[in-house]
A = this chain, B = another copy of it.
Amino acid sequence: MPESSVQELSNDDLPPTPDFDSYPVPADVVEAAVEAEGSQLRVVWSDGRVSRYHAIWLRDNATDKENLNLDTREQRSDITALPEGIAITAARVEPCGALALRWNVGSVVSRFHPGWLYVNDYSNGAAKVAVDVAPLLWDAETLPEPSTFDGARILEDDVVLEDWLKAVCRQGIARLRNVPCDEGMVARVAARIGPVRDTNFGHVFDVRVAEGPGSNAYSTAALTPHTDLPTREYQPGLQFLHCLRNDSAGGQALMVDGFHLTQVMRDRDPQTFRCLTEIDWPNNNRALDTDYRWPSPVIVLDGKGEVRELRVVPFLRAPLALPFEEVEEAYRALRRFFEAVKDPRYQMRLDYAPGDLVVFDNRRILHGRAAYDERSGERWLQGCYGEREELLSRLRILARQRRARQLQSL
Contact = CB atoms under 8 A, between A and B. Distances in A.
A395 to B, nearest CB: 9
Contacts of A18: 286, 318-319
Contacts of A39: 328
Given A320-B122, A396-B291, A80 B232 contact: no
Contacts of A237: 233
Interface residues of A, number: 90
Given A122-B321, A322-B122, A315 B76 contact: yes
Interface in A221-241: 221, 224, 231-234, 237
Interface string A202-226: 0000000000111110010100100
Contacts of A125: 323
Interface string A39-55: 10000000000001010
A125 to B, nearest CB: 8
A84 B335 contact: yes
Contacts of A317: 60, 75
Nearest to A277: B303
A123 interface: yes
Contact of A213 (B20, B71, B290, B331): B71
Contact of A19 (B221, B284, B320): B284
A314 B79 contact: yes
Interface in A67-115: 69, 71-80, 84
A331 B57 contact: yes
This protein's copies in its complex: 2
Nearest to A52: B324
What secondary structure prevails in chain A residues at the interface with B? Answer: loop
A2 B334 CA distance: 40
Interface stretch (A156-164, A193-201, A375-383): A193-201
A158 to B, nearest CB: 13
A61 interface: yes
Contacts of A120: 319, 321
Interface in A304-361: 314-324, 327-328, 331, 334-335, 338-339, 342
Contact of A195 (B69, B74, B199, B389): B199
A316 B75 CA distance: 7
Contact of A69 (B127, B194, B216): B216
Contact of A315 (B74, B327, B389): B74
A368 B80 CA distance: 15
Contact of A221 (B54, B61, B76): B76
B338 A71 contact: no
Contact of A78 (B19, B128, B224): B224
A20 B286 contact: yes
A228 to B, nearest CB: 13
A388 to B, nearest CB: 5
Contacts of A80: 335, 338-339, 342
Interface in A357-410: 387-389, 392-393, 396-397, 400
Interface of A: 18-21, 39, 52, 54, 56-57, 60-61, 69, 71-80, 84, 120, 122-123, 125-128, 130, 194-200, 212-216, 219, 221, 224, 231-234, 237, 284, 286-294, 297, 303, 314-324, 327-328, 331, 334-335, 338-339, 342, 387-389, 392-393, 396-397, 400
10 contacts: A18-B286, A76-B216, A76-B221, A78-B314, A79-B314, A79-B331, A120-B321, A194-B200, A232-B389, A293-B392
Given A80-B335, A122-B319, 14 more contacts: A21-B291, A52-B324, A54-B327, A69-B315, A73-B286, A74-B216, A75-B316, A76-B315, A77-B314, A122-B323, A122-B324, A197-B198, A291-B393, A291-B396
